[in-house]
Every structure is written in C-alpha cells, then in structure tokens.
C-alpha cells in the first residue's frame, strides 16, 4: 500500500467534463480518490504543489514509432518510454511498420507486455493491415484484434490498392475497428522529397504535389461510404484534404483524423538550406496549409494531435536531403509545441488538452485521458509559462532528430505519474 498523494492548490483540467478549476486532487492506491476545491486531506499524504501549474490527465499519443523490434539502433521501448514520460505522455499507440512488422498476434501481445514492463507507459499496438506492411496481402485482422490491436494501419506506408483498402474496411467493420491511413497517393509521392512548388524548385528537390494527400483522402472517403467502414487519416497537412474531411463529417460518415505539431507550427521554409531534420513524411507544407490546419484544430475538424514520433539515427539524416530518411522525433515536444498555439490564441487551454488526452483516448477505445474518480492516476503536471529551448542532442530518449531544434517553447512538464507512481520530474 503506497502513501496517499495530494496535489495541492493546482489548476485542475479534465477535458472529459470540461473541468477547469483551482483545487486539490487526491491519489490513493494508484487511483484518483477525490478532487475539488474542498476535499478531505489526509494528514500523512505526500503533498505536491507548484504555483501556477496545471494538472491534467497523462497525454495520450495516438501515433508513434518505437524502433522495436528491428530498429533498436534508432530507438528502444525503454528510451521511448523515458522520452514519453518527459513529455507527459502515459499512453501511446505504437505503429506496426517495424521489422518484423506487427502482423502476428504474438507481437501484439509482446508490445503490450513490454509497455507494462516500463511501468511508465501503456503501449496500445496497431496491427498491420497487410503482411509485412508491404501492401500486398491482407494480414489476419481478426486474430490481431483478439490479441489486443486497437486499430489497423501500415504506418508510414499508404494502402495504395483501392481493392485492398475496400477489403480491409469491410473486415475491420465486422469487429468495430478503424483503418488508419497515411494519406498520400504512392504513385504521386514516389521519389519526392518536398512539397511541390517554388520552395522545392528553388532547392532543386523532386516535389510531391500537395494534391497527393487529397486524392487518397477522397478515394478512401468514398470507400468508407461504400463499405460502412471507419477511416482515420493520420497527420493531415493540407487545406484541400481537410476540406474533404470536413464535408464527409457533415454527412455523418465514420471519418476521423489527426495532425502533428510540425504541420501547425512549421511550414516548408523550415527546410532552409537542405535541413534534413525538417524532412518529414508528409513533407512540410505552405503557410496557407499551416493556417488551414490550425483552423481545423480550432473548429473540431481534426480529432487529435499526435506526436508522429519517427526516430532516426544520425546516419539516417547525415545525407544529402534527397537521400536522408524522413521523420522527426516528437514525444518530448508534443505538449510544448501545442501550448504555443494556446499562448498565440489559436486554441483554448481546455481545447488543446482535449486534443492531447480525451479525444485520442476515445478514438483508441482506451479509458485513459480523464481525471474522474476511480480512474488510474495517470497524470501530467506542467507549468504553462516556463520557457525552455529545444536542443537536438539534449532531448530525452535515444533519437535526437527534432525538426524543432533551436525552437523556444513556453510550457514545460514538471512531473508525470503512472498509476500514482512518479515516473518523471
């Protein structure tokens, strides 16, 4: 039996209930026992207070690559868990495009178990849509679901075949699961390294038309209508793609989407003079697209903000821009970059935290992301006004390929708790 833990006189935010108030929260036996401005305070409770701090549910990251199995030189589950804890993340959905891919029920169970072993991070595995995430033969979706897969995706690879996508949507619908799509037409994106336009032309880089995103979104919306299946579009980054999703939602289709901090904080100029840390997939977009992503976050079109954590080894990035691997780390910076939009007035604090906690939890069918009584005490305590600077090489975790290198952020995690146990801070 652990001692009671009391968060004293902090700003408590629970987006599930729209709660935003100054008060206390009591943790007992790893669960939330009580909260409010006037609650009974045990004399022997360990007290934690931080003037001006906010206490919210542990963040729920619905899209991250962990490196294991197969790419441990980039990241391990242990190093990713440390980075997640530093970023206030207590629940994480892991992509399946590892080596081997998560296309076997035993690997789904293994990832869940490895998450429990960290004692700081709940790992919710995605199952692969196709064997090896190769886009050729459909995996055993039913068996993967039984083993604990929360949804199905081929990770950073688009499901390019219309026939295969239709079959996957039909099968997944039978057991209430969604297909998570990387929305980028493979034939249009093949060989490209930056968004097609003036910036790519000036740098002499092969371009990917922004329309590649909208084309696949339009196709899959139609396939979802045809099958009655549920499609979730990952890291949506263009105004055209978001307009299609907005219209589909208005007609009641089972369409959801997320985005990632680079697509509302950076634009294509971050590439600079061939800065490979800013080479992402999808590529950074125009300023007009960035503004459209922010507007879609504000109006509710976008359902969640995910880290889109893609760890890369230094050797993956120390190459000519066209040859460097796309991807950026995002666990430690997820909260800080999102809070920049709160400080800038684009999002409210409760709204931003909803996109990082309750809403992704609902999409994943998880009971995380809430401060209700009796819920596990997965908690994030942060000060919204503390300024810090992102420095590649000094981030928690193994991989350091951040597109935000040098960025000053306002808002820092003070502590993270998993089932009432402090795992960071």
Is 315 a catalytic site residue?
Answer: no
- Provide φ and ψ at 351, rounded to 5°: -60, -45
Do 302 and 233 meet the contact criterion of CB atoms below 8 Å apart? no
Q: Could you say which of 14, 308, 316, 378 is catalytic?
A: 308
Residue 386 in 3-state DSSP?
Answer: strand
Question: How are beta strands 255-259 and 230-233 bridged, if at all?
Answer: parallel
Tokens, residue 164: 């295969």
Do 280 and 311 meet the contact criterion of CB atoms below 8 Å apart? no
Residue 153 in 3-state DSSP?
Answer: strand
Residue 37 in 3-state DSSP?
Answer: coil
How far is the C-alpha of 68 from the C-alpha of 321, rounded, in Å?
A: 26
Question: How are beta strands 19-28 and 54-57 bridged, if at all?
Answer: unpaired
How far is the C-alpha of 366 from the C-alpha of 16, rounded, in Å?
A: 13
- Provide φ and ψ at 42, rounded to 5°: -60, 140
DSSP of 89-140, one letter per residue? EEEEEEPS-SSS-S-SHHHHHHHHHHHHHHSS-EEEEPEESBGGG-SSSB--
How far is the C-alpha of 379 from the C-alpha of 67, rounded, in Å?
A: 25
How far is the C-alpha of 95 from the C-alpha of 77, rounded, in Å?
A: 12
How far is the C-alpha of 44 from the C-alpha of 282, rounded, in Å?
A: 52
Active site residue ranges: 308
């Amino acid at each position: 039996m652990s001692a009671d833990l009391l968060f004293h006189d902090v700003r408590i935010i629970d987006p599930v209930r729209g709660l935003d108030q100054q008060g206390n929260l009591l943790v007992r036996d790893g669960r939330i026992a009580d909260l409010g401005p006037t609650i009974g305070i045990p004399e022997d409770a360990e007290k934690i207070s931080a003037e001006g701090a906010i206490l919210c549910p542990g963040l729920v990251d619905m899209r991250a690559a962990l490196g294991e199995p197969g790419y441990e030189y980039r990241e391990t589950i242990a190093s990713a868990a440390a980075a997640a804890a530093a970023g206030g993340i207590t629940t994480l959905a892991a992509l399946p495009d590892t080596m081997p891919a998560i296309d076997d029920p035993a690997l789904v169970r293994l990832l869940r178990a490895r998450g429990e072993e960290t004692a700081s991070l709940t790992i919710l595995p995605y199952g692969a849509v196709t064997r090896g995430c190769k886009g050729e033969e459909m995996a055993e979706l039913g068996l993967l679901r039984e083993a604990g897969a929360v949804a199905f995706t081929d990770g950073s690879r688009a499901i390019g075949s219309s026939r295969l996508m239709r079959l996957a949507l039909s099968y997944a619908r039978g057991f209430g699961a969604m297909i998570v799509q990387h929305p980028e037409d493979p034939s249009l994106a093949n060989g490209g390294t930056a968004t097609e336009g003036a910036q790519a032309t000036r740098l002499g880089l092969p371009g990917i038309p922004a329309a590649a995103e909208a084309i696949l979104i339009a196709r899959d919306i139609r396939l979802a209508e045809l099958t009655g299946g549920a499609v979730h579009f990952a890291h949506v980054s263009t105004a055209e793609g978001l307009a299609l999703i907005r219209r589909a939602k208005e007609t009641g289709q089972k369409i959801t989407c997320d985005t990632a901090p680079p697509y509302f904080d950076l634009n294509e100029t971050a590439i600079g003079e061939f800065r490979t840390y800013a080479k992402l997939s999808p590529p950074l977009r125009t300023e007009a697209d960035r503004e459209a992503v922010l507007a879609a976050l504000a109006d509710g079109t976008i359902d969640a903000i995910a880290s889109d954590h893609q760890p890369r080894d230094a050797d993956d990035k120390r190459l000519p821009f066209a040859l460097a691997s796309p991807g950026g780390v995002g666990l430690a910076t997820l909260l800080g970059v999102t809070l920049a939009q709160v400080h800038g007035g684009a999002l409210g604090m409760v709204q931003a935290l909803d996109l990082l906690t309750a809403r992704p939890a609902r999409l994943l069918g998880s009971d995380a992301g809430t401060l209700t009584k009796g819920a596990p005490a997965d908690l994030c305590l942060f000060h919204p006004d503390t300024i810090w600077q992102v420095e590649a090489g000094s981030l928690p975790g193994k991989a350091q390929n951040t597109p935000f290198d040098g960025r000053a952020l306002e808002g820092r995690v003070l502590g993270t708790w998993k089932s009432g146990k402090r795992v960071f801070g």
